[in-house]
Amino acid sequence: MNAREFLNRGNAHHALGNYNLAIADHTQAFDLYTSNAGKANARYNRGKAHRLLGKYDLAIADHTQAFDLYTSNVDKADTRLERGLAHYLLGKYDLAIVDYTHAFDLYTSNADKANARLNRGNAHQLLGKYDLAIADHTQALDLYTSNADKANARFNRGNVHRLLGKYDLAIEDLTQAFDLYTSNVDKAYTRLKRGNAHHELGKYDLAIVDYTQAFDLYTSNANKANARLSCGLAHLEQKNNEAAKRDFSDSWRTLEDTQPLFKIYSGMQLKKLNATSNNDNEEKIELNPLIDQLALKPGKTPDALCILSIVSTYVGRYDIAKENCKAFFKQFSPNQIPFYLRKEFFEVLIDKKLNLTEAFSKKDFKDIKEAKKQLLGLIIALRDDSQKQNALCQTLIAKTFLGSIFNVKQLIGTPSLSSSKNKKMIATYLENEVKTHGLKLNETTIQALREEEQSFQTSLQKMCPSLANMSTKVQEQKSLPSPTIPASNPLTFFSPREGTYVCTTIATPDGNQPNPAYKPGMKTFTF
C-alpha cells in the first residue's frame, strides 16, 4: 500500500470509530509521504483520532507538527482550531483562546471565522469571562447565515446571559434557539437550559414544564435520565419529596456506570430521601465504586469537582473530597459553582470533619482576590437564611475555612473587598440579625468563635459585639431580605460537551455548556 491508500483507509477507520486503527494507518501514511502537504494531512488526521481517544497531549503534538508543515492559511487555521479544542478539553482555556484567535485571523470565510468566535466564546465562558463570551457569540451570530449555526450562537449567548443573571435575555435567546433548531435533541437541550433559567428565577413550575418537554423530546435513556434529575431538583425546591424521589430513582436506574458523574449525584439525592422514610424495601445504592471511578479521571470539569467533593463528603471519603476541593480552587473560580450545587458545596467548604482550613493556602487559589469577591457573592446568593448567616459569620472567624480565605487579621477590609463602606457591611448586617431576630449559629461556627484568640475577639467586639458575646440568646430564626452587599454574577459552572457539532450527547441538569465546538473535517489524500 502507498501513502494515499493508508491515508484513505485511516479515514475509513476513523469514520467507523476505529480510532486506534486509524492512528496506525495515518502513522504509516506519514512515514511514506515525501511531500510536506501529505505528511501534514496524515498528522492532522492522526491528531483528530488522538483527541477522540482522549489523548489530548498527543493530539496537540500532532496538530502543532501539522501546522508547521502546512503552507495554506486555511489548513493552518484548521489545525489551530483543532489544537484549540484539545487545549479546551484539557482545561487549558487560555491556550485554547490563543488558538481560536489565531484561527479566526487565518480564516477568510465568514462561516469559518464564526466557528472560531463561537469556540472562543465557549472558552471565555469557562474562564468566567462572561462579557467577552457574549461578545464572541454575538459576533458569531452576525457572521453565520444558516439557521442551525445561528441557533448554536443564540443558545450559547442565552446560556451566558443566564449566568449573568439576565434571565429575560437568556429566556429570549433560548426560546429563539429552540425555534431555529430542527433536531429534537437540540430542541430538548434548549428546553433544558431554559428550564435552568426558570429554575434560578424560582419559577419551579415553569422549570418543570421545560424539563418535562426536554424529557419528551429526548430519545436516549441517558438524556431522559438527566432531564428527570433536573425535575427532581425542582421538585425538591417545591418540598415535593415524593415527586423528587421518583425522579431521582428513575435517573439512578437509567444512567449507566459509564456516566458516573450524575449517577452518583442522583444516587446521593435518593439516599438522602430514602433516609427520611421507613421503607425497608428501598433499592440499594452503592456510591463508592462510582466515586473511585470518577476520582481517577483526569481533567475534571468544575461540575465534576463539585459533585465529587459533595458526594465524597456525604459518604465520609474526606481525602477525596479535600483533594477535589483544592483542585477546584486551583483551576476555577467560585462563580463557576453550579446554581443547584451552591448550598451543598458550601456545606462541604465549612464541614468540620473535612477541616479545609489546614488544607488550603493562598497558592491553592487561581486568584485569591477574585476568590474572596466571588465567595462573598456566593454567600449572598444562598437561599437559606441560616446558612447565609453562618457563612457570613465565618468570614469573620480566623479558624474557619472562610475566615482563612478572607485574611481575618485585616478583618474584611482587604483591597479585594474595596472601600471602607464594605469593611463593616458584613458585620453590620450580622449585628442587626442578632439584635433584631437572633442568630442561629451552627456548631462549627460556635466552636470556632470560642476557640478564637483574644486579640481577634477584641477586634470582633468592636465590629460586631453581639457576635463576640456568645451568651446572646438565640431566638427563633426568621427569614430576612438579603443584605445589600453587592453580589457577584450569578454563580454557576460549565462542563464541556463531547460529540459532534450537532448536540447529540448527554445533557446535564445544569451544565452551562455551550454547543460543541466546530471541528473541521478529515483531510483527504494529496498527490
Residue 495 pLDDT: 25
Counting residues of the chain whose pLDDT is more than 90, the rounded percentage is 47
Lowest-pLDDT range of 339-343, 402-406, 421-425: 421-425
Residue 429 in this model has a pLDDT that exceeds 80? no
Please report whether residue 168 resides in a domain: no
Cα–Cα distance between 381 and 433 in angstroms, integer?
17
Cα–Cα distance between 300 and 10 in angstroms, integer?
30
CB 491 within 8 A of CB 334: yes
Please report whether residue 163 resides in a domain: no
Residue 435 in this model has a pLDDT that exceeds 60? yes
Length of the chain: 527
Residue 514 pLDDT: 54
| Residue-wise pLDDT tens digits, 299-320 | 788 888 999 999 999 999 999 9
Lowest-pLDDT range of 227-241, 359-373, 464-478: 464-478
Lowest-pLDDT range of 107-121, 300-314, 320-334: 320-334
CB 5 within 8 A of CB 28: no
Please report whether residue 336 resides in a domain: no
Cα–Cα distance between 502 and 188 in angstroms, integer?
12
Please report whether residue 486 resides in a domain: no
- Residue 484's Cβ-count burial label (10 Å; 0-12, 13-18, 19+) is exposed
CB 106 within 8 A of CB 80: yes
Enter the pTM of the model.
0.71
Residues 468/470/475/479 CA torsion (nearest 10 deg): 40
3 state SS of 126:
helix
Residue 303 pLDDT: 85
Cα–Cα distance between 449 and 421 in angstroms, integer?
25
Which residue in the block uniquely carries the three cell numbers 487579621? 409
Cα–Cα distance between 171 and 150 in angstroms, integer?
16
Residue 350 pLDDT: 76
- Three-class HEC string of 30-92: HHHCCCHHHHHHHHHHHHHHHHHCCCHHHHHHHHHHHHHHCCCHHHHHHHHHHHHHHHHHCCC
User: Residue 135: enclosing H or E segment and its boundaries?
Assistant: helix 130-143
Number of structural domains in the chain: 2
| Residue-wise pLDDT tens digits, 266-281 | 999 999 998 876 665 5
The grid coordinates listed for 421 are 463602606
Burial 147-161 (b: 16+ CB within 10 A, else e): eebbbbbbbbbbbbb
Residue 408 pLDDT: 45
Read off the pLDDT of each residue in 502-521 and give the average, rounded to a whole number. Answer: 42
CB 468 within 8 A of CB 412: no
Please provide residue 7's backbone torsions phi and psi, each rounded to the nearest 5 degrees. -65, -45
Please report whether residue 12 resides in a domain: yes
Domain residues for 49? 1-71
Please report whether residue 521 resides in a domain: no
CATH of the domain at 5: 1.25.40.10
The grid coordinates listed for 373 are 469577591
Please report whether residue 308 resides in a domain: no
Between residues 126 and 5, the one the model is more confident about: 5
Please report whether residue 395 resides in a domain: yes
Asked which of 71, 95, 118 is the last residue of a domain, the reply is: 71
Average pLDDT, the chain: 78
| Residue-wise pLDDT tens digits, 134-143 | 999 999 999 9
Asked which of 468, 485, 517 is the last residue of a domain, the reply is: 468
Cα–Cα distance between 512 and 40 in angstroms, integer?
35
